[in-house]
């Protein structure tokens, strides 16, 4: 596999499920500032070649993503209106996390911590499931030939074509259709399930849940009108709807509501995720006490910092990983005495840990403003260091220097420097 394909495959497998949040979107002025930073960096960057090894692409991608995480955490702790509120960001609390998960997404930070509401889950939103016929895996129930079927959703219609050779068993055909559906990217996931007799069936599940009033189905599978395709569909049975999609149902302070999804917002302030039906009393959704919220916010920042330290240790056999460790841990070491006084302890290998009792004492003391100031300084310094690493992650990979820029200045930007990361076009050199 070429370096570029290997890098992209690693990125998709590792980070595609992380999702995006509002801190991944930026104003034009912010994008312009990033662009100017890139140009400024490129003007001084020497000419070099990458010493390609199997981990170079992964290392660069991991640096980019871990530093992005630090920047997002710092941004989330910087938009709450003043230093005294930076680490006092509201955090939602659910009395039963196994039934309902809650996140506060509102902007108001002066909401009364004692406010709460009750939610009782009657049933979850479910997807549509089509289940085919159980077939003996080694039999040949579908004759050789070319077949097709139509798959319709509420937005689009698709035609799927497949062929069966004389060597294809039932399982070969089922595996072929599963790959066809999963690779199509139509919002469906197909699996092969087995009964107690060893027979196999195709089960197709929609990624979407719930049905609106004007919908009869989330997807519908019908054979093409030719006799062979219709007969093949009768054998496979994947047009059979085993379970129709259904909406979630819940009581919000005693009033019944429903949702197409198990994740929804309440008053544009709380994002709730229903996990299972309630048993017994309703779940109470409110805010964590102020000191607990502060400790959790500090822990979130510390976790983001520790992730980049862990990354440098994971690639300890890479020559430049020591530079990444030195650069990032230098932020914590420069604030060592101040951080230690508020409960953040630095280990010899660069990790930070939080003493929640000592931190709580510091943020509730008469001198709490000083505590918030030093925590904010640490956050800003860490964010600045992460931003520099994010601009040029290739600065931390092994490379062969070819030529330095003119030390007298008057250098021009090198437009292809950033494409080394974005394209992962790595030279394989000795």
Model pTM above 0.95: no
C-alpha 341/C-alpha 366 separation (Å) is: 15
In the prediction, which pLDDT does 189 show? 95
Burial class (CB in 10 A: 0-12, 13-18, 19+), 401: exposed
The answer to whether 273 and 100 are in contact (CB under 8 A) is yes
Kindly compute the dihedral angle of the four CA atoms of residues 8, 14, 19, 22, in this order, to the nearest 10 degrees: -80
pLDDT digits 0-9 by tens, 383-424: 999 998 888 888 887 777 777 777 766 767 665 555 555 545
In the prediction, which pLDDT does 398 show? 76
309's tokens: 């330290």
pLDDT digits 0-9 by tens, 36-60: 887 777 777 777 777 666 577 788 8
Sorting pLDDT into bands at 50, 70 and 90, what band is 319?
low
Residue 2 has pLDDT above 80, yes or no: no
Element (H, E) at 56: helix 56-76
Rounded mean pLDDT of the chain?
A: 86
C-alpha 233/C-alpha 44 separation (Å) is: 64
Mean predicted confidence (pLDDT) in 288-317: 89
Mean predicted confidence (pLDDT) in 194-214: 95
pLDDT digits 0-9 by tens, 51-87: 666 577 788 888 888 999 999 898 888 766 555 566 8
Lowest mean pLDDT across 203-207, 218-222, 224-228, 421-425: 421-425
């Amino acid at each position: 596999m070429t370096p570029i394909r290997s890098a992209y495959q690693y990125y998709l497998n590792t980070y595609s499920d992380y999702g995006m949040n509002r801190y991944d979107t930026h104003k034009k002025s912010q994008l312009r500032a990033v662009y100017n930073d890139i140009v400024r960096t490129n003007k001084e960057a020497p000419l070099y070649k990458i010493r390609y090894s199997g981990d170079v692409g992964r290392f660069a991608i991991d640096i980019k993503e871990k530093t992005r995480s630090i920047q997002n955490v710092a941004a989330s702790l910087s938009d709450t209106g003043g230093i005294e509120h930076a680490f006092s960001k509201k955090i939602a609390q659910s009395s039963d996390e196994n039934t309902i998960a809650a996140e506060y997404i509102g902007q108001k930070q002066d909401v009364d911590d004692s406010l709460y509401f009750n939610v009782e889950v009657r049933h979850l939103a479910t997807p549509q499931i089509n289940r085919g016929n159980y077939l003996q895996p080694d039999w040949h129930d579908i004759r050789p030939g070319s077949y097709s079927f139509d798959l319709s959703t509420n937005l689009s219609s698709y035609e799927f074509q497949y062929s069966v050779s004389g060597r294809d068993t039932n399982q070969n055909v089922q595996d072929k259709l599963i790959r066809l559906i999963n690779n199509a990217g139509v919002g469906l996931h197909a699996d092969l399930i087995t009964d107690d007799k060893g027979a196999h069936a195709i089960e197709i599940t929609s990624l979407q849940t719930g049905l609106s009033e004007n919908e009869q189905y989330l997807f519908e599978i019908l054979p093409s009108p030719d006799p062979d395709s219709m007969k093949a569909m009768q054998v496979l049975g994947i047009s059979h709807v085993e379970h129709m999609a259904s909406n979630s149902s819940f009581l919000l302070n005693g009033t019944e509501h429903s949702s197409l999804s198990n994740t929804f917002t309440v008053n544009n302030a709380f994002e709730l995720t229903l996990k299972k039906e309630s048993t017994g009393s309703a779940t109470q959704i409110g805010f964590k006490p102020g000191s607990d919220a502060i400790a959790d916010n500090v822990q979130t920042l510390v976790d983001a910092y520790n992730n980049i330290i862990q990354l440098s240790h994971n690639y300890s056999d890479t020559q430049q990983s020591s530079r990444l460790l030195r650069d990032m841990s230098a932020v914590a070491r420069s604030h060592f005495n101040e951080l230690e006084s508020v409960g953040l302890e630095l280990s010899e290998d660069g990790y930070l840990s939080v003493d929640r009792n000592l931190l709580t004492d510091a943020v509730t003391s008469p001198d709490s403003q000083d505590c918030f100031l030093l925590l904010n300084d640490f956050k800003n310094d860490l964010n600045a260091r992460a931003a520099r690493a994010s601009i040029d992650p290739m600065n931390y990979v092994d490379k062969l220097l070819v030529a330095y820029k003119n030390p007298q200045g008057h250098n021009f930007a090198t437009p292809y420097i950033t494409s080394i990361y974005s394209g992962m076009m790595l030279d394989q050199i000795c």
